[in-house]
Structure 1
């Protein structure tokens, strides 16, 4: 998994949040002053690389990300860890595991032995908070297709439901699905702070390079929070 690390540490959120202040991305002290550092960690047994957040160099915009729509009525939720994700259009129904930067300075990927598991970067925004919440999953492993095998087939308007630990289901609507080369991954476009609650689903995609045993691209789904209701 290719990881891009920034040099900034946690900062207080501005006055736009409703509820607890959102924690900004936390990074190892070793990265301070080093700028953007490219490191690798395997995502499953195929070594499917995945770029990871570069901190934006500017403050959050007063508008949603250009690829997304605004959440209705300025809806935003307090912080709460995600428990389960459902994407009806591609038959995804899977639990979450929290992901962090490990002692080595690399992002710990979701366990490769569980093909029906997604990971949430737990030092970033939780799904439904203001900001871009990052969720990643395997496209495949040695045993076959994994949870995000069909992620690239999603279309604008598709629904993503995330059940949170506070009993709220945060429903997101897909705005765009893009495939980006790992050699030229747009970190600021994918990971920059946003003023509205947004979601990024990320997996590997494009051609598989057997020489380096890695996919050459990443699939990124951009979505915005559309509604929030108590779980049934």
Structure 2
């Protein structure tokens, strides 16, 4: 859904900016083509007067930042993720696969299931070599949703993704930042790093009635172990 559409706190994420030929590139070239961020819209009726927490300056990435050093564990084979857990912010949510809508944007998790998150099924799965992507609502008409607290996450915290093959990919957070959705740094967010990575996204930044959130909260994490 477009961020200028109906106010439903749902992801609206174009697959990629249009190429010079006027066609949208496939996911495999996203790192080069660019990608606009999720355009979620806050309802403003969640009962949380100050809105969702936002990342502090100390959590941000800076130009040239790379994942922390150290050997990466071997990548896992492809397997659909079943559940994501972020213990430090009390998240434990089932995951559903998301594709693209007719408008070329990633489909939203169901609005009537605010504790559900989704993963982009045409990207690497969590644990594979490459950048996996998980998205979720920040709030809905009924109140805070699954990733309401994402902006409060801190560097060094753990994200665990349980996969359908029974294995668990464990990721360490190394950056949390809000990006203006009009200037979304696709190469920085989605570009490959040569190891299994994870991005978790929801909306964030300033909120204005009618236009919604101005930005996207993006969590950067690298796989540190698997079981």
Question: Which band: TM-score by shorter chain?
Answer: 0.7 to 0.9
Equivalenced residues, count: 189
Alpha-carbon distance, 1:135 to partner: 0.5
CA–CA separation in structure 2 for the residues paired with 1:159 and 1:92? 11
CA–CA separation in structure 1 for the residues paired with 2:73 and 2:40? 35
Aligned to 2:89: 90
Q: How does 1:78-227 map to 2 (within 5 A)?
A: 78-212=77-211, 214-227=212-225
SS in 2 for 1:66: coil
Aligned to 2:49: none
Scaled by the length of structure 1, the TM-score of the pair is 0.73
Moved over 6 A (4+): 35-38
CA–CA separation in structure 2 for the residues paired with 1:218 and 1:45? 12
Sort the Cα spacing of 1:150 and 1:73 in 2 relative to 1 into closer, same or farther, 3 A: closer
Unpaired segments of 5 or more residues in structure 2?
A: 1-11, 18-23, 44-63
Contact 1:84 1:95 in 2 (8 A): yes
Query: CA deviation digits over 1:14-42, x for unaligned, max 9?
Result: xxxxxxxxxx379xxxxxxxx7797x997
Alpha-carbon distance, 1:206 to partner: 1.1
Unpaired segments of 5 or more residues in structure 1?
A: 11-23, 27-34, 47-64
Scaled by the length of structure 2, the TM-score of the pair is 0.75
Give RMSD over aligned pairs: 2.6
CA–CA separation in structure 2 for the residues paired with 1:121 and 1:8? 16
Structure number with the bigger relative contact order (C-alpha 8 A, sep ≥ 6) is: 2
